Amino acid sequence: MEDGEVAPAGVGPSGVSPFVSKVLAPGDVVLDLNSANKVLRVGSGLRQDGDSILATKVGRLRFQKQSNKYWVEGSQKRYIPNVEDTVVGIMVDRRSEMFILDIGGPAFGSLPILAFEGATRRNIPNLQVGAAVYARVVNAHRDSDPELSCTDASGKSAGFGPLKGGYIFECSTGLARGLLNKPTPPVLEVLGKSLSFEIAVGLNGRVWVNAPKVTTTITVSNAIQNSEFLSPAQQHIMVKKLLEEL
Amino acid sequence: MTAMEEEGAPPSLDVSQRTDGRSASQLRPLQCSRGLLARAHGSATWSQESTTVMAAVYGPKPAAMRKENAERAVVEIIWRAKNGLPGSYEKEAEVVVRRSLEFIILTALHPNTAISVILQVISDDGSLLACAINAACAALVDAGIPLNGLLTAVGCGVTHDGQVFLDPTKLEEQKSKAFVCLVFPSRPLSAVSGLPADVDGEPFEHGILTSVTHGAMEVDEYFTCVENGRAATAKIAEFSRNSIERSQKRVSGAV
């Protein structure tokens, strides 16, 4: 989803910002809109101030040529909902028309009871308080509570829905994004070769792990949490050590 | 100054012979650690040698009903002194820090929420308010709260014979005629020449955001403090920038 293409340092021929892939601090001026010749998309961590684009967070500036989009990639403990994010939510309440989920952000998200594949008024999904749900953020405006859905845009379930059993742990948003990268991060690859488990990664910094054996769940959770600041080679070594102790 | 002629003459302070061997315009060594607290959404510790303040940031989180604002986030500061019950000094410090931080926090991006900053004084050896503001800014950055820039704060003292010196220790503050805490905006990196723009012919980072003075000083002494403070903030801003870059090197997926 967010494959940042690294533009060459220095202003490129199409007026690309020279700060791509550099660490930015809040207030850094990234680009002057007058020099950009096409319509730009400004993503999270950036804002427009008159004729210039400024950074609002600390992180690396990324640029995607296909959609002409800039954004700042940083890592936080706190999740701020964005449209089209896939999140792991925990149900906290049930209203007449919707489920209320805690997605770890400033406000709870609302999940309409009919936002599931094949749901009608007669067969409403039976979710209890405390249930884990894998959902997609449909609406995330700053003035209202985020709205979620358990179907993709065409109405199919596409992996969304309740998560039965398993164990959830919290991590930073940066680690969650890293886990969803393509190619698969080394930690998951090495674990997947020896253990059988399933995970659901929420961009809100929550990871759900389910495995037939408790030791597998614990090993997988620890390995993922340890891998945050390790290089690929270090991740290999770390996972091999954990697997030896199993 | 009539005080000089009285029997109990104020203790003299020789700026060229400071106890720790610093010159008048030299700052103490700075230290900053980020992300220390497991539960806080953002945290940082800022040290100016023996003056250390730890800041923790929680937010944006739902605000209490009576405090919430439908248009912007509410910024709340809690100052915890090293010991003793909270008094008027803490209340005043909270107001000063809140007004300084409200300048940089983009509160309009998170209406109906609260952002709390808790400042814990770990040790106080002078320039405490400046240290606290630096710590609060670093903690806000660690929490990912959207900001429109960074702050740098520095303390400056004036001796009884009119000499100006930077970053006073507690003893130097007690012996000085007056001391001031100055907060300036940090100069950001810019890919566009000419931005950030000068204001009235002066560079952007020369603007005084906050100035809190203890004691009375002459007008030109104050302006000398401001000049010295401006020169010092460039070093503090550079230190802060390096600290940010180092903290980002460890993030997974770094190119």
DSSP notation for B126-164: S-HHHHHHHHHHHHHHHHT--BS--EEEEEEEE-TTS-E
> Min CA distance, B41 vs chain A (Å)?
6
> Mutation test of the interface with chain B: which of A11, A20, A28, A184, choosing the one with the most B Cβ atoms within 10 A?
A28
Amino acid at A135: A
CB contact under 8 A, B144 and A52: no
Is residue A49's pLDDT more than 70? yes
- Read off the tokens for B58: 């929680």
User: Residues of A numbered 66-85 whose beta carbons fall under 8 angstroms of chain B's beta carbons: which are they?
Assistant: 73-78, 80
Cβ atoms of B139 and B32 closer than 8 Å = no
Per-residue model confidence as pLDDT tens digits over A63-119: 988 888 999 988 899 999 989 899 999 999 999 889 999 999 999 999 999 888 888
Cβ contacts of B147 on chain A, cutoff 8 Å = 26-27, 56-57
Taking residues B77-95, what's their average pLDDT?
Answer: 94
* Predicted pLDDT at A35: 76
Confidence of residue A125 (pLDDT cuts 50, 70, 90): confident
Domain boundaries, chain B: 28-195+202-254
CA distance A207 to A219: 14
User: Residues of A numbered 8-37 whose beta carbons fall under 8 angstroms of chain B's beta carbons: which are they?
Assistant: 11, 17-19, 21, 23-32, 35
3-state secondary structure of A156: coil
User: Residues of A numbered 105-134 whose beta carbons fall under 8 angstroms of chain B's beta carbons: which are they?
Assistant: 106-107
B57 touches chain A (CB under 8 A): no
Question: In chain B, helix, strand, coil percent, each to 5?
Answer: 35, 30, 40
* Predicted pLDDT at B250: 66
B2, burial (CB in 10 Å: exposed 0-12, middle 13-18, buried 19+): exposed
- Among left, alpha and beta (phi > 0; psi -120 to 50; other), residue A159 is left
CB contact under 8 A, B248 and A17: no
Taking residues B32-55, what's their average pLDDT?
Answer: 94
CA distance A74 to A58: 6
Per-residue model confidence as pLDDT tens digits over A143-164: 889 999 999 888 888 889 999 9
* Predicted pLDDT at B252: 46
Cβ atoms of B119 and B95 closer than 8 Å = no
Taking residues A46-60, what's their average pLDDT?
Answer: 91
Tell me how far apart the terminal alpha carbons of chain B are, to the nearest angstrom: 61
Is residue A140's pLDDT more than 60? yes
B137 touches chain A (CB under 8 A): no
Cβ contacts of A201 on chain B, cutoff 8 Å = none
Amino acid at A172: S
> Residue A167: enclosing H or E segment and its boundaries?
strand A167-170
Cβ contacts of B254 on chain A, cutoff 8 Å = 60
A vs B, Cβ pairs < 8 A, gives 132
Per-residue model confidence as pLDDT tens digits over A175-230: 999 999 888 899 999 999 999 999 999 999 999 999 999 999 999 999 999 998 88
Is residue B217's pLDDT more than 80? yes
> Min CA distance, B44 vs chain A (Å)?
14
Taking residues B33-58, what's their average pLDDT?
Answer: 95
A223-246 in b/e form (b: 16+ CB < 10 A) is: bbebbbebeeeebeebbeebeeee
Beta strands in chain B (DSSP E): 30-34, 42-48, 51-62, 74-80, 113-123, 151-158, 164-166, 178-185, 210-214
Q: Helices (DSSP H) in chain A: which residue ranges?
A: 173-179, 186-194, 214-226, 232-244
Q: What are the φ and ψ backbone dihedral angles of B170, each rounded to 5 degrees?
A: -60, -45
Domain B28-195+202-254 annotated CATH 3.30.230.70: yes
Confidence of residue B201 (pLDDT cuts 50, 70, 90): confident
Look-up of token digits 């940083």: A74
* Predicted pLDDT at B171: 92
DSSP 8-state class, residue A104: S
A184 vs A2, A45, B216, CA distance in Å? 14, 25, 64
**Complex ipTM, two decimals?**
0.87
Of B61, B191, B254, the CB nearest to A106: B61
What predicted TM-score, i.e. pTM, was given to this entire model? 0.90
* Predicted pLDDT at B196: 81
CB contact under 8 A, B188 and A52: no
DSSP 8-state class, residue A153: T
